[in-house]
Amino acid sequence: MALDHTVPIHSGKPMKNSKIKNTWKYLKKSWILYLFVLPPIIYLLIFDYVPLYGIQIAFKNFRPAQGIWGSKWVGFAHFKTFFESYHFWSLLKNTLILSLYSLIAGFPIPIILALLLNHCRFPKLKKSLQTITYAPHFISTVVFCGMIFMFLSVDGIVNHFLGFLGIDPIIFMSKAEYFRHIYVWSGVFKGMGWSSIIYIATLASVSPDLHEAALVDGATKMQRIIHIDLPSIIPTMVILLILNTGQIMNVGFEKAFLLQTPVNLEFSEIISTYVYKKGIQGAQFSYSAAIGLFNNITNFILLTLVNAGARKANGNSLW
């Protein structure tokens, strides 16, 4: 007797309904776990997605009395005003220089610090160095900027040290050309310890057998770093580099604004401080919203391009 090998044909609806039922059962079974995820989801919706409604004021001549819907639609007029203003190129140049300078100076130093701490043979010294390098991260930006002004003043500790070396005092905060170096290297000092944590955690997951085998083969410490440690942290480095590049136009507003003086305004005026002055102090809400939107779109484009390049280069990417 011949066997019937025909496959029964089922409509897609029963299978779809069964998947929905299974999903619902799983959610019902693990509702406590999803309850922990609820607060960050609510936070994300309230502070990241709900404000997107206000983006439209960048395309309107917003008047608080008329509201968002009642304000007159002007299209890309505010964008055109910004692009044609004499501030545009100086703001863009200052923002890019500070961002790229911070990225170039600040990205490799946490990696170097993590590698040095990972190969430190003295546990007490290692813990002490970690505590010392982590501590500046927990100082608020306002206090940290106050410390910078105090240390770099004429009677500050830096000029006392220069005087000990026979060098005349330097008024650092009154020379505009010093602003970028002060901004970047103070940021490196403040964040290098905290940024190294993720690399230290990655290095801690490297199998000790690899180092033991390398030592048996006669590998030096530098060879072990190059051939064992660095390859293990490259995926982490790529992801963090992509994330940092995606924020290249968002130079820290607080620190730049607090270190800003009339003398260094030529180098310290960046897009974020300009938006604050125009939007909050000058009440030009639509104009400042247009500038902020341009800034965010630029960041998104850079993030997408760098992510695509990293994916093609070594297969590591955010998506």
Report pLDDT digits (tens) over 170-183: 888 888 889 999 99
Instruction: State the pLDDT at residue 252.
Output: 77
Instruction: State the pLDDT at residue 145.
Output: 92
pLDDT in tens, 82-92: 898 888 999 98
Q: Is 270 exposed, middle or buried (0-12, 13-18, 19+ CB in 10 A)?
A: buried
Task: Compare 302 and 91 and report the one with higher pLDDT.
Answer: 91
Q: Tell me the CATH class for 72-314.
A: mainly alpha
d(CA 259, CA 179): 8
Percentage of residues of the chain with pLDDT beyond 70:
93
Q: Where are the domains of the chain?
A: 72-314
Phi and psi, residue 4, nearest 5°: -85, 110
Of 153, 170, 186, 171, the C-alpha closest to 256 is: 186
Of 164, 183, 153, the C-alpha closest to 256 is: 183
Phi and psi, residue 60, nearest 5°: -130, 165
pTM assigned to the model: 0.80
